Amino acid sequence: MNKLFFKVSILVAGSVILNACGDKKADAPNPALMPVPVNLYEVHPEHATYSDQYPGTVVALEQVDIRSQTEGYVTGIFFKEGDRVKKGEKLYEIDRSKYQASYGQSQSAVQVAQANLEQAQKDADRYAYLNEHDAVAKQTLDHAMTTLQNAKNQLAAAKQDMSKTQTDLNYAVIRAPFDGTIGISQVKQGASVIPGQTILNTISSDGPVAVDFVINEKQIPRFTLLQQKKPTAADSIFSLLLPDNSKYDQTGEIYFMDRGVNTQTGTLTVRVKFPNPASMLKPGMSCKISVRNQSDTGVQVLIPGKAIVEQMGEYFVYLAKDTAIISPKDTAANKATPVPHAIQKKVTLGPAIADRVIVKAGLHEGDEVIVDGVQKLHDGSLIKKPANK
């Protein structure tokens, strides 16, 4: 009897202790269920003008590497590096002595061929006259006519050779192919050059110049419309940021779009032309080209940038939502308590304007976006709205 009473006493005591522990745990607040204090931003579309920026490279509309078409040594350089030169202006001279000699020989060959032709012509005329009076053999006349034709061919060949040697002589003097700025000479006086291989210098046109940049193939319709639009100075779509982030004082227009899309990258090259009166834009310069948004309405959804959460290359915001649920403590059968909580929403972003970001898709007017406390949230987290909300 005493043993049984002892066991029952232990069970009762244990039960009391467990219940006491359970009550303590129930009374302790669960941090995961604590509402997160947040601040909200109510979405209202507004007018906003912005520009898309693309990295670009300045290119000359005309640029060519100057090479010699003749072999020899550089005997003259007739410009100052960095000078502006005119079309046809003398730049380099290659040793002309052997080309002058060849040209002189070809001139002499033409004179000899011309004299032979004149003699052959006289012989052919004489034998033709005698043949009319049956005073010469037919074979003699045939030989005379053949000699005449050969003399004509020899003269033609001599003239062609003289033309070639004259061209070589002319090519020994290298002239500017167009108006532009010439660069640093790659050869010095006395250097040997190989025809078609040795680059002597590079010349590029001064202005206008162009900026090349690439766009995604999805943007082709937009830029096609921009190309068809007639630009005006007061409403220019294209502007330029120089390497020091200063704004270039001239505006541009689309010069052309490349003929096809790069199948490996899915991009297309666009070339925009800019005036260059002060020669500030240099070929090869890196810059940023700004393309102003051409939205018909200009109405955009903007939210504070701090509300954006990036996950695996995608962008999200948290919206504040009130869900009505029935609490077990409610005595009325239909009485419900609204519970504010966070809902994660994927968004598509546009460019940033100051500390705000344009949202192209994912939000609607009246949405309440959580802007503070987002680091502590996950989808479905309980939140505590500001007092005025």
Whether residue 216 is found in the same domain as residue 150: no
- Residue 252 near residue 233, CB atoms below 8 Å: no
Whether residue 233 is found in the same domain as residue 285: yes
Q: Which helix (H) or strand (E) holds 73?
A: strand 72-77
Structure tokens at 333: 């059968």
CATH of the domain at 282: 2.40.30.170
Decide which of 292, 326, 352 is a domain's last residue.
292
Tokens 């053949």 locate to: 146
Say which residues have a Cβ less than 8 Å from residue 90's Cβ, sequence separation at least 6: 78, 173, 174, 175
Decide which of 155, 171, 187 is a domain's last residue.
171
342-to-75, 217, 316, 348, 386 alpha-carbon distances in Å: 81, 37, 12, 19, 14
Residue type present at position 175: R
Quote the CA–CA distance of 97 and 54 in Å, as a whole number: 54
Whether residue 282 is found in the same domain as residue 355: no
Q: How open is the CA angle 276-277-280, to the nearest 5 degrees? A: 55
Quote the CA–CA distance of 174 and 88 in Å, as a whole number: 9
- Residue 184 near residue 81, CB atoms below 8 Å: yes
Tokens 């504040």 locate to: 320
pLDDT of 327:
54
58-to-55, 211, 215, 244, 276 alpha-carbon distances in Å: 10, 4, 16, 15, 11
Whether residue 107 is found in the same domain as residue 160: yes
CATH of the domain at 316: 2.40.420.20
314 located within any domain: yes
Whether residue 145 is found in the same domain as residue 167: yes
Whether residue 130 is found in the same domain as residue 155: yes
223 located within any domain: yes
Quote the CA–CA distance of 343 and 168 in Å, as a whole number: 80
Whether residue 273 is found in the same domain as residue 307: no
**Domain span at residue 242?**
53-61+204-292
pLDDT of 377:
87
Indicate the number of domains in the chain: 3
Decide which of 292, 310, 329 is a domain's last residue.
292
Quote the CA–CA distance of 212 and 120 in Å, as a whole number: 65
Whether residue 288 is found in the same domain as residue 232: yes
Parallel, antiparallel, or unpaired: how do β-strands 84-85 and 253-257 relate? unpaired
186 located within any domain: no
pLDDT of 180:
94
pTM value is 0.63
322 located within any domain: yes
Whether residue 319 is found in the same domain as residue 284: no
Whether residue 307 is found in the same domain as residue 282: no
Give, for all 389 residues of the chain, the pLDDT tens digit: 444 343 434 433 444 444 544 444 445 555 556 888 888 999 988 877 777 889 999 999 999 999 999 999 999 999 999 999 999 999 999 999 999 999 999 999 999 999 999 999 999 999 999 988 888 888 998 999 999 999 999 999 999 999 999 999 999 999 999 999 999 999 999 999 999 999 999 999 988 999 999 999 999 998 998 888 776 655 678 999 999 999 999 999 999 999 999 999 999 999 999 999 998 999 999 999 999 876 545 678 889 999 999 988 899 999 988 875 555 555 555 556 678 888 999 999 887 777 888 898 999 999 999 998 888 888 888 888 887 66
Tokens 């250097």 locate to: 191
Quote the CA–CA distance of 249 and 275 in Å, as a whole number: 10
- Residue 240 near residue 287, CB atoms below 8 Å: yes
Percent of the chain with pLDDT over 70: 85
332 located within any domain: yes
Quote the CA–CA distance of 117 and 149 in Å, as a whole number: 8
pLDDT of 111:
96
pLDDT tens, residue by residue, 84-101: 999 999 999 999 999 999
Structure tokens at 184: 């640093």
7 located within any domain: no
22 located within any domain: no
In 3D space, the residue among 192, 183, 169, 165 whose CA is nearest the CA of residue 66 turns out to be 183
Structure tokens at 60: 């000359």
77 located within any domain: no
pLDDT of 277:
92
